[in-house]
Amino acid sequence: MNGQLANGSLNDLIKQMPPALRQRFDAAIAQFDQQILDEQQEDDPKEPTLYNHLRWMREKKPRLGRMTAELEDILMQYMPITHEMIVRNKLPSHSDCTYFWAREIKNHEREAAKVA
């Protein structure tokens, strides 16, 4: 999917979506955008709407979706973070990270010892 997204076929898929489903899709994006606007504080900088972000991905930078997916993969390799946590904008605790990193270092040392 990353290759397809990078080639801009996300735009093609959205254009080919059945009208009834497209309306629900647009409504879900509008609902999400309204939630963002409702949560935004008065003195915070303006956040881009999901609609504008999606439009920008489709029209200007289709690679953005691919980069986002790759960033998620890298974060999951180096932190005890799950896809669900990323979606919900949550971070693992420092103690979870410390344990994860110690385990990864230990595994790396074992692999290095096997090679040597």
Domain-wise residue ranges, the chain = 2-78
* pTM of the model as a whole: 0.53
Q: Confidence class of residue 1 from pLDDT cuts 50, 70 and 90? A: very low
Tokens matching residue 18: 């059945």
Q: Between residues 5 and 21, which one has the greater pLDDT?
A: 21
8: left (phi over 0), alpha (psi -120 to 50) or beta: left
Distance in angstroms (rounded) separating the CA atoms of residues 80 and 26: 33
DSSP 91: -
Mean pLDDT, rounded, of the chain: 78
